[in-house]
């Protein structure tokens, strides 16, 4: 945000310096000035809605899968360079750019993810004309909105249309949807060097449009991938006594795994074991196959449970398969750790919402979510806060959850995400 000092020369207003200190006599005037700045900040962010929508729809039309976000990466790089920012990019499609602020050493980072899901979407009335043009890829998790909101914030900050007190790093990360995730790549390339805090956001249709959800502590679950290959001895379905039936063994394994949730885990803790794929046989009704494949995920909000779960699963799967005369091969891939929000960073995140939108800016209850997020990698290394922004709107028919084929967002709420980033760039 620019102002003049009477000489006609414009300068950046930077709050938190000696210029912002007030005496008791001038505090009412200072408070009124701050309220005016807040109103202007909201107006500036809201005025970016057409640009946010344009960016989001362009990303939505041309989604790209994890690790191959080449066109997306070029678009972001060109946008940032067009703002006069120097882009840092290694051998991945992810990148970051810095915006320095005179007179401060603190640097806050804002992160947006770039990749789409490996799925096809269906056109809805709200998405008419800009559904995915890349078969087998769709932005059905909202990463298109994340990029658009952060690029809009970068534009407003880089062109001094919004005040800032800190140095800012804009992080655009590839491959959030595919473990081990792109955060590791960017961290190894140095994206956290010199960063004091990092903030991220995810759009969530189950929450009402424009409302925020955030809390300190465990906020999103650790998420691991599980693959089990049950091997037996197949043959004619009329003679099961001569076989070792992997279908029966696999079925028993699916059920036995649930005892880890109901009997090995405290009711006060959380563990979710979900088998999402069962594959076996050729479709013939009278042939029992030699093997059956199971695939799924393991999720928890507890770091200790996260450490113990693989051994529990191997024990249950191995013995259950053996009891059915089969054997099992287990592939367990560590995914993302528990995402733990730092208490101080989260308080600043809440303060930003409160000062922008008041208490009505929050959902009534902010609960942990069992989805996984590799933003957790950053949170393991720096004070971090991850928030959810509601984008659901029943009146517009925008109610489908993330990863649904008819997923959508209420675009009129996205400027609030941009405003949140702007406020955090200026929050003492």
Is the distance from CB of 72 to CB of 143 less than 8 angstroms? Answer: no
- The residue from 79, 199, 336, 378 that is catalytic is 336
Active site residue 332: no
Instruction: Give me 160's structure tokens.
Output: 């001094």
Active site residue 411: yes
Cα–Cα dist 316/259, whole Å: 9
Cα–Cα dist 202/150, whole Å: 11
Q: Give the three-class secondary structure for 160.
A: coil
φ, ψ (nearest 5 deg) of residue 364: -60, -40
Cα–Cα dist 303/307, whole Å: 6
* Residue partners of 80: CB distance under 8 A and separation at least 6: 87, 95, 97, 151, 154, 170
Q: Is the dihedral of CA 356, 359, 362, 367 positive or negative?
A: positive
CA distances from 43 to 30, 59, 161, 172 (A): 20, 25, 11, 25
- The residue from 64, 177, 197, 411 that is catalytic is 411
For strands 167-173 and 107-113, give the pairing. parallel
Peptide bond connecting 140 to the previous residue in cis, omega within 30 degrees of 0: no
Task: Give the number of other Cβ atoms within 10 Å of residue 389's Cβ.
Answer: 26
Note the residue count of the chain. 428
Give the residue numbers annotated as catalytic, written as ranges.
336, 411
């Amino acid at each position: 945000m620019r102002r003049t000092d009477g000489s006609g020369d414009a300068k950046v207003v930077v709050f938190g310096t000696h210029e912002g200190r007030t005496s008791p006599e001038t505090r009412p005037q200072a408070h009124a000035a701050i309220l005016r700045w807040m109103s202007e900040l909201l107006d500036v962010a809201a005025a970016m809605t057409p640009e946010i929508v344009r960016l989001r729809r362009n990303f939505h039309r041309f989604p790209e899968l994890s690790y191959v976000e080449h066109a997306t990466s070029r678009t972001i790089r060109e946008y940032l360079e067009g703002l006069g920012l120097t882009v840092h990019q290694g051998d991945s499609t992810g990148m970051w750019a810095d915006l320095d602020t005179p007179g401060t050493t603190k640097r806050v980072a804002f992160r947006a993810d770039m990749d789409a899901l490996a799925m096809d979407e269906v056109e809805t009335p709200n998405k008419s004309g800009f559904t995915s043009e890349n078969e087998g890829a769709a932005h059905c998790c909202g990463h298109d909105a994340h990029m658009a909101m952060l690029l809009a914030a970068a534009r407003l900050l880089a062109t001094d249309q919004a005040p800032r007190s800190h140095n800012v790093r804009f992080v655009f990360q590839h491959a959030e949807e595919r473990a081990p995730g792109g955060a590791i790549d960017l961290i190894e390339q140095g994206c956290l060097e010199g960063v004091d805090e990092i903030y991220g956001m995810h759009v969530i249709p189950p929450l009402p449009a424009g409302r925020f959800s955030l809390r300190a502590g465990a906020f999103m679950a650790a998420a691991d991938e599980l693959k089990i290959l049950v091997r037996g001895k197949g043959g004619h379905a009329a003679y099961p006594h001569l076989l070792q039936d992997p279908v029966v063994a696999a079925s028993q394994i699916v059920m036995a795994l649930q005892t880890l949730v109901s009997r090995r885990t405290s009711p006060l803790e959380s563990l979710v074991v979900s088998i999402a794929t069962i594959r076996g046989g050729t479709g013939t009704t009278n042939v029992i196959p030699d093997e059956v494949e199971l695939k799924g995920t393991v999720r928890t909000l507890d770091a200790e449970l996260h450490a113990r779960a693989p051994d529990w699963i191997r024990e249950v799967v191995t013995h259950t398969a053996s009891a059915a005369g089969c054997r099992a091969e287990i592939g367990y891939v560590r995914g993302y750790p528990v995402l733990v929000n730092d208490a101080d960073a989260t308080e600043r995140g809440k303060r930003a919402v409160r000062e922008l939108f008041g208490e009505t800016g929050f959902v009534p209850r902010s609960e942990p979510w069992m989805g996984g997020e590799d933003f957790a990698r950053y949170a393991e290394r720096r004070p971090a806060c991850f928030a959810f922004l509601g984008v659901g709107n029943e009146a517009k028919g925008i109610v489908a959850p993330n990863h649904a084929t008819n997923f959508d967002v209420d675009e009129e709420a996205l400027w609030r995400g941009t405003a949140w980033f702007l406020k955090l760039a200026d929050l003492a």
